[in-house]
Amino acid sequence: MLTYNLDIERGSLWLRTTPNEFALAQPYYCTEAGIFYAHEQFNTKRDFKDSWLLFYTIEGCGIIEQNGVNIHLKENEALFLNCRFPQSYYTDPETGKWTHYWAHIDGSGIAGLESLLIPERRISAFVTKRSVFEEQFNRLLRDLENTSANTIISESLVIHSMLSDLVLRNSVSYSANQQLIMKTADHLSAHYNEPFELDSLLKMANMSKSYYMRLFRQYMGTTPYNYMLNVRITRAKELLEITDKTIHEIAMETGFSDDAAFSTRFSAIVKTSPLKYRHEAITKIQNHR
């Protein structure tokens, strides 16, 4: 279901395009975008759209609601949301206006950033640098209807730059919370071969489970257990390559309960079995002698 009221000024822009095969093969592409000079009655409510949506406020304020979260998107702030979940957005009645850029984007590259931009599917505002973000949106609007290969590649790079800028700009300050998360991550790296104990990490960070898990994913890009698991697998790969230890010995040394658990986890992450990995590593060494 989609309901809306386009209470916008003349001069507002709404562009659409249909991505071709080359565009769909890129990590990022845009299907529609615009700039709205919205008045007080502007609003949109939608149940589902197979896309992601990026907002950026130039002036005034917009209110975006999704999954029980209500965000006032102020000047020089951006917000990224997954349109596959019900959402609504409208002009803040207190300001009576909301001048904003917006773009519906998609592509395989978004999956890697979504957990950082929408941790636990909870939308949030990101502070931006106006000169940079406004220029990037203007480039996107200028080239959206041009379907040449060079323009399509440029569009993908612009979208990647915008999304990565949101992540990096808002994590550049090394906050107290970030330091605590990094401390627990260092602990996992140092004690990767010991049993995983979430309660110890929570006590170390002095946080609730839900808050700790959200921050860990935000700063480290994965869960605490998967972070430790990747450290274990990295160490196991090293032992497979440079030692003649048995699979059982490596499994025990890297903290796995038994050979089967080690082989299952290793194969799932590395996409090959420990024995095959060792054989391929030895072959590569021999070929380079």
Write the CB contacts of 215 (distance below 8 Å, at least 6 apart in sequence): 177, 178, 181, 207
Give yes or no on whether 2-169 and 176-287 have one common fold. Answer: no
pLDDT, tens only, 132-179: 899 999 999 999 988 899 999 999 999 999 999 888 776 644 467 888
Tell me, what DSSP letter sits at residue 121?
G
pLDDT at 26 over 50: yes
pLDDT digits (tens, 9 = 90+) for 239-254: 999 899 999 999 999 9
User: Which CATH superfamily is 2-169 part of?
Assistant: Regulatory protein AraC (2.60.120.280)
Every domain of the chain and the residues it spans = 2-169, 176-287
Quick check: 47 and 86 in contact, CB under 8 A?
A: yes
DSSP lists the bridge partners of residue 127 as 77
The residues facing 79 across adjacent strands are: 55, 125
Amino acid (1-letter code) at residue 256: F
Q: Spell out the CATH class of 176-287.
A: mainly alpha
Q: Please state, rounded to an integer, the average pLDDT across all residues of the chain.
A: 91
